[in-house]
């Protein structure tokens, strides 16, 4: 790359950016629940595939489906259709398209030696297992490239019939199977997979509520891209959420949004400030950062910054404009980078550079999530309490939660909950309990509910939200009373 100062002649161009380790199905926290014997009709097929060690136990009885006799295992749906001929009688049902996770970001493009099937590359570490399972005849075709699932801390790839994954914390090549069968049979099978194999129905991080009001004040908050993580409590005590193009943080309880200095953290190139050479006549705005020294910012970039929170959001420039390739330019500021691509449609020529993934790669997952927890009654302990057992008019009820890991008794941070208060007439008062803080606690205020008759006992339930393997709820009650 070369750093260029956009002279008047150049400025119009800018305006015109596996299986090499062990394989198990039940790693991590143990699977548990009701299991069954493999039906004799499927037993030989099941054992040929690797049996329980590879596909987990049977978690349903045999049932008839689409003229086939089928049975769920932890990781797949095994079927036999006697109307078909030869080896085609036995097959894995294609569960993948209905289970495939989305909202994650692609892993690095595999190198030229990687296997590509139907135009989709298979992640290098997954190729040995894919081949061992006879390729597409057992796994089915890949449905999408491998993904980095930050919510569940794993690399994963979905195929038609089964799915592969490796936890970030696992050794390279330690490939396992996603719990396809348990996910597809969740409403009929009494079995819970290991938490690291769970296919969550809510793996797409959403913009955390703590940031929503502050983002609305910035105008078009879509410039930051999609969230890559849920909100978490950072090491400095700030609430933070990483997006595709930036990382946002705020003080607990504050509505003011700030951005991490991601370009500096990930080590993007910077250049020393220099003297002013160009100004408005040349389509430039000079940002002084050190006395009379500073950087030249194209007017188009300056307008964008002004429309999106000013330098309080962008930070000051750290380099002059850099030409990345023919017709593509980038300029980095303290908190984000702007990219201009002349070949793009006008509405997408000027965008933020997608540097969020590099930031995530730079920091340890433990730094921004602590212990990643898939919520289930076996992994977390939830307690609720109310400030007043007897609530009177003009008082505000405070309902509190305390959340701890059942593994190590440590407080769990950054997990929200849903509140429902049931009124005698059948109506429900609802609210969101904010994400738990460093001590694992959070609370929500509930007003005196005038619609409830005097002396009503109000029952409430608080259920955790997030990466849910099984619901985790706790209940309580209090009395509303208008005293004489």
What's the confidence (pLDDT) of residue 250? Answer: 84
Encode pLDDT of 124-144 as tens digits.
889 999 999 988 889 999 988
Q: How far apart are CA 444 and CA 421, in angstroms?
A: 12
What's the confidence (pLDDT) of residue 272? Answer: 94
Encode pLDDT of 153-199 as tens digits.
788 899 999 999 998 888 888 999 999 998 888 778 888 888 788 88
Answer yes or no: is pLDDT of 240 > 50. yes
Question: In Å, how far from its chain's centre is CA 256?
Answer: 23
What's the confidence (pLDDT) of residue 11? Answer: 42
Q: Where are the beta strands (DSSP E) in 169-321?
A: 176-177, 191-192, 232-233, 239-242, 247-250, 258-259, 274-275, 284-290, 293-298
- What's the mean pLDDT in 92-99? 84
Encode pLDDT of 316-364 as tens digits.
999 999 999 888 999 999 999 999 999 888 888 999 999 988 887 777 5
pTM for this model (two decimals) = 0.48
Beta strand pairing call for 63-65 and 32-33: unpaired
Mean pLDDT is lowest, of 54-63, 186-195, 308-317, 475-484, for 186-195
- b/e 5-40 (16+ beta carbons within 10 angstroms → b): ebeeeebeebeebbbebebbbbbbbebeeebbebbe
What's the confidence (pLDDT) of residue 104? Answer: 43
Encode pLDDT of 373-424 as tens digits.
567 787 789 999 999 999 999 899 999 999 988 877 888 877 888 999 999 9
What's the confidence (pLDDT) of residue 217? Answer: 67
The CATH fold of domain 380-480: Immunoglobulin-like (2.60.40)
What's the confidence (pLDDT) of residue 105? Answer: 41
Beta bridge partners of 159: 142
Q: How far apart are CA 468 and CA 101, in angstroms?
A: 14
What's the confidence (pLDDT) of residue 209? Answer: 63
Task: Give long-range contacts, CB 8 A cutoff, 24+ apart: 84-87.
Answer: none
More confident residue, 435 or 245: 245
Domain ranges of the chain: 2-15+206-366, 32-197, 380-480
Answer yes or no: is pLDDT of 238 > 80. no
Q: How many residues appear in the chain?
A: 484
What's the confidence (pLDDT) of residue 295? Answer: 97
- What's the mean pLDDT in 225-234? 73
Answer yes or no: is pLDDT of 467 > 60. no
């Amino acid at each position: 790359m070369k750093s260029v100062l956009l002279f008047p002649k150049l400025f119009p161009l800018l305006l015109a950016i596996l299986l090499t380790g062990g394989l198990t199905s039940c790693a991590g926290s143990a699977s548990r629940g009701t299991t069954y014997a493999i039906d004799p009709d499927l037993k030989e097929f099941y054992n040929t595939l690797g049996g329980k060690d590879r596909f987990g136990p049977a978690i349903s009885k045999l049932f008839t489906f689409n003229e086939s006799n089928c049975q769920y295992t932890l990781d797949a749906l095994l079927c036999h259709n006697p109307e078909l001929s030869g080896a085609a009688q036995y097959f894995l049902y294609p569960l993948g398209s209905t289970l495939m996770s989305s909202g994650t970001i692609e892993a690095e493009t595999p190198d030229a030696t990687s296997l590509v099937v139907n135009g989709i590359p298979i992640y290098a570490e997954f190729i040995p297992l894919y081949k061992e399972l006879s390729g597409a005849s057992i796994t089915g075709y890949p449905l999408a490239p491998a993904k980095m699932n930050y919510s569940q801390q794993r690399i994963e790839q979905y195929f038609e019939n089964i799915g592969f994954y490796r936890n970030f914390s696992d050794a390279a090549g330690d490939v396992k199977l996603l719990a396809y069968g348990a996910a597809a049979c969740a409403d009929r099978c009494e079995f819970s997979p290991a938490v690291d194999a769970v296919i969550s129905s809510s793996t797409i991080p959403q913009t955390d509520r703590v940031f929503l009001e502050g983002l609305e004040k910035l105008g078009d908050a879509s410039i930051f891209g999609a969230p890559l993580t849920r909100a978490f409590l950072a090491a400095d005590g700030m609430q933070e959420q990483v997006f595709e193009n930036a990382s946002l943080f705020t003080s607990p309880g504050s509505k003011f949004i700030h951005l991490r200095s991601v370009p500096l953290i990930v080590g993007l190139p910077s250049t020393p400030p220099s003297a002013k050479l160009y100004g408005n006549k040349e389509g430039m705005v000079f940002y002084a950062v050190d006395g009379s020294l500073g950087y030249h910012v194209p007017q188009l970039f300056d307008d964008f910054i002004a429309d999106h929170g000013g330098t309080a959001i962008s930070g000051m420039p750290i380099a002059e404009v850099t030409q990345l390739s023919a017709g593509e330019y980038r300029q980095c500021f303290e908190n984000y980078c702007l990219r201009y691509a002349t070949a793009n449609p006008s509405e997408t020529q000027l965008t933020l550079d997608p540097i969020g993934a590099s930031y995530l790669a730079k920091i340890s997952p433990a730094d921004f999530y602590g212990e990643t927890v898939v919520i289930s009654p076996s992994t977390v302990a939830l307690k609720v309490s109310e400030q007043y057992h007897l609530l009177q008019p003009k008082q505000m009820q405070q309902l509190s939660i305390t959340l701890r890991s059942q593994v190590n008794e440590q407080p769990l941070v950054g997990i929200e909950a849903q509140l429902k208060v049931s009124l005698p007439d059948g109506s429900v008062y609802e609210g969101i309990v904010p994400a738990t803080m460093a001590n694992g606690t959070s609370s929500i205020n509930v007003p005196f509910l005038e619609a409830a008759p005097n002396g009503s006992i109000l029952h409430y339930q608080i259920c955790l939200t997030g990466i849910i393997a099984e619901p985790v709820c706790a209940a309580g009650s209090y009395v509303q009373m208008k005293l004489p």
